[in-house]
Structure 1
């Protein structure tokens, strides 16, 4: 049955309307209501003197708060609702539907990063494009921030990914949505713990901060059940405040990582988490760290830098992440020797083709006879594209977006772009589909696939994709190291 899962790939910006009536605080109620009548507006958006969202006056508010209760010259400030539900234009539409249903409102105000209104989304319009049988799934994916509810969100991810494949959605779109849901879980867990800590007497966060995720989450390329790769960027603060500031964020990190583990994000075995001081620094300390990574030549420093490169913000003051991203890209693109060292570190991440031109399978251990899709296919591709992007000063973190930007910058040819996109999409699809099948049959969800379960056509396509990756890595080796052999 067609489940119309395309709604889960839609963004708020595709369905928002321009607010028909928008007035400043201090406007008479009479004036605002007259404009609503003239335009047929369902609501009136209220902004402050700087254009930032201040509140909203809905049609039902006119009956309950205005008519026969206040004078026509009463200011709109006195009757508007200042607890407005908002979203960003680039967020997913299903999330907007879930929020409106959860809070019992019929509209959301779409705002930019400065909290200035840019449009409206109405529940009635959004629901009309969502089939009735999808509403329960939307509600499952839009649960509250408590741990038990978020466990349900993680479980609902698998059903959604399965349904999207049934609807022939591209694997990259499925990955992006899985990542979006995971980032939303991060955000809700952090927000919930910040509120709990304030209620317990810890107070508000002592400085602005930004929580970041790294690895596949930073690239928007999550598979099922990724482990935790996270950190904190803190606003700079005086040295004498260090104990107080660090105590707060150490506690917040501990609670965040604990709750993430409980809802389905296993602790990182490499300790790449905000509970580790290495991944919890002020913005100035992060800048210094990036500089040190660029100067050191040992493998540990290079591996830490490699983990960090794909970071993205998930909560808090995102300008801190933007500032650090600019510092990182600017430092790396000027450091050719560092890029050479990084390539050398990744040289052993060979593509999974043996000397006979067949799939290179695991030879020992529990996974003997299986093919490692992550380490012998997607990782060599992701690393190569990342390295050329850093060399070219490209700030994007997603692999497909990086390929597109590299093509526009004429760093990859038309043919290379076509081959890389094909390889990435096929490798992503084959692993993600196998993971979903494993989960639904109560088998372990891993990065390995059994070649015996592949059709002849799938094996041939897999080998073709691997050859494309191998050819690109050879070309990159010549460009970065000057070694053509």
Structure 2
């Protein structure tokens, strides 16, 4: 993690910050042997293991001073002195989540366990907190609370990091990771409120969530990849998934993710399928190329798997991503149809080079998402799909396209992307601080003059790039 900004460190998985696993012993090991092993390893904690080698408790130096010294004989088992149940985290959990857990439970050590429940590393409080400034801690503490508290804490954390000079893409990545963690929490609760799932499945997010570009108030765009099942079982399985997905989408709405007006949510049967059914759905959209098919494909192409539940074979989301290339090769007209639809997107500049007025009534604010980010996102997506780029984030797609020589002005577009995210995020934080719902209308007149000038040039760069891209697919002059 050396050299990474605080925001980037917090968004990284805990695997990037963990130390090697501590000494570990079977729970029945005599304490005398355990303490000697701790001394020899020069570590500050040991783990107690069950018969399968999974940690079930922890014994720290503090525990030895409080519970063992002059209290328990050397022959007493390790299980008599450990702290249990054990609080752990996964290696792909955001470091922000680990910090919140450690502070909420006053932990000095947090074991990192793999999918099988075995310890693969340890987080130490002193090392972890070194990545976090004091200004952020109050907001990180709130991230250990309920869903509403977590959503509210996003704004405070983003504001604190902006004040430290962290650039918007790093902040948006962190906000997106917090949003994905909320999705997993709500899903776990939806599962706990009903019988166990009859088959395994993968939760997908799409749109801005799939790109890792969520701002403070994204709509829901989600679906499921179901594990294969016999056709005769459909009604029985659907009877389980209907109430569970209703709980999932309602829970996400309560957590601050508004229901998708277009119904692109797991509770809609259209958005929960097996992988084979998803592939057939993409192929159908590619053949039909109707308005609804293009809209759905545009959103769905940014999908990302965020949770695998039950017996899931492999990585269904990655396998589905790999299946897109042959579908597009068989139906090349789809990208042309998407480009014809996307070329209606306009940047937020007037004919004379001023900022467009997108605000109803007397205001003059500009929608920099619809008339800035979206043309850039759409054009970059089309080129990424054409050239088989697996990444879904706009910045990552631009970098991959530049590396392949497809985009020659990558740095300028990356800077334009950063400027737009920064303007949108700052406006949304200002809206939040004023007690208003965060939106996409940016008060460009309130920006410093140099920022306005750079933003205008960024929009011109996006306009040139998007027009050339769309024309390349449609064959229309621009």
Report the TM-score range of the alignment, normalised by the length of the smaller protein.
0.7 to 0.9
Aligned to 1:158: 155
1:370 Cα shift? 3.1
Aligned to 1:225: 217
Aligned to 1:268: 260
User: Of residues 363, 377, 384 in structure 1, which corresponds to 2:379?
Assistant: 384
User: Of residues 298, 316, 320 in structure 2, which corresponds to 1:320?
Assistant: 316
User: Of residues 265, 273, 293 in structure 2, which corresponds to 1:281?
Assistant: 273
Aligned to 2:3: none
Decide whether the 8 Å contact of 2:211 with 2:303 is kept in 1: yes
Q: CA RMSD in A?
A: 3.2
Say if 2:182 is the partner of 1:185. yes
2-structure distance, mates of 1:221, 1:118: 30
1-structure distance, mates of 2:404, 2:57: 45
User: Of residues 292, 310, 326 in structure 1, which corresponds to 2:284?
Assistant: 292
1-structure distance, mates of 2:46, 2:107: 14
Pair 1:169–1:80, CA change in 2 (3 A): same
Deviates more, 1:203-212 or 1:309-318: 309-318
2-structure distance, mates of 1:135, 1:220: 24
Say if 2:420 is the partner of 1:423. no
Deviates more, 1:213-222 or 1:293-302: 293-302
1-structure distance, mates of 2:28, 2:231: 44
Aligned to 2:140: 138
What's the secondary structure of 1:285's corresponding residue?
helix
1-structure distance, mates of 2:79, 2:231: 42
Say if 2:339 is the partner of 1:339. no
What's the secondary structure of 2:262's corresponding residue?
coil
1:78 Cα shift? 10
Aligned to 1:463: 456
Decide whether the 8 Å contact of 1:175 with 1:221 is kept in 2: yes
1-structure distance, mates of 2:169, 2:362: 26
1:120 Cα shift? 1.1
Pair 1:22–1:70, CA change in 2 (3 A): closer
Aligned to 2:129: 127
Pair 1:312–1:48, CA change in 2 (3 A): farther
Decide whether the 8 Å contact of 2:136 with 2:161 is kept in 1: no
1:255 Cα shift? 1.1
User: Of residues 157, 167, 189 in structure 2, which corresponds to 1:170?
Assistant: 167
Aligned to 1:146: none
Aligned to 1:40: 42
2-structure distance, mates of 1:367, 1:323: 50
**Alignment gaps of 5+ in structure 2:** 1-5
1:368 Cα shift? 6.6
User: Of residues 439, 445, 452 in structure 1, which corresponds to 2:445?
Assistant: 452
Pair 1:5–1:399, CA change in 2 (3 A): closer
Listed one character per residue, the Cα deviations across residues 61-111 of structure 1 (whole Å, up to 9, x for unaligned) are 778699957958x7x899988854333444332211222333454322224
Aligned to 2:347: 351
Aligned to 2:469: 476
1:127 Cα shift? 3.3
**Alignment gaps of 5+ in structure 1:** 144-148, 198-202
Aligned to 2:428: 435
Paired residues in the alignment total 467
Deviates more, 1:62-71 or 1:162-171: 62-71
Deviates more, 1:230-239 or 1:118-127: 118-127
TM-score w.r.t. the length of structure 2 is: 0.87
Aligned to 1:200: none
Listed one character per residue, the Cα deviations across residues 231-288 of structure 1 (whole Å, up to 9, x for unaligned) are 1221112223222211221111111211222222111111111111111222222122
Decide whether the 8 Å contact of 2:368 with 2:442 is kept in 1: yes
1:334 Cα shift? 5.7
2-structure distance, mates of 1:430, 1:131: 24
Pair 1:484–1:238, CA change in 2 (3 A): same
TM-score w.r.t. the length of structure 1 is: 0.85
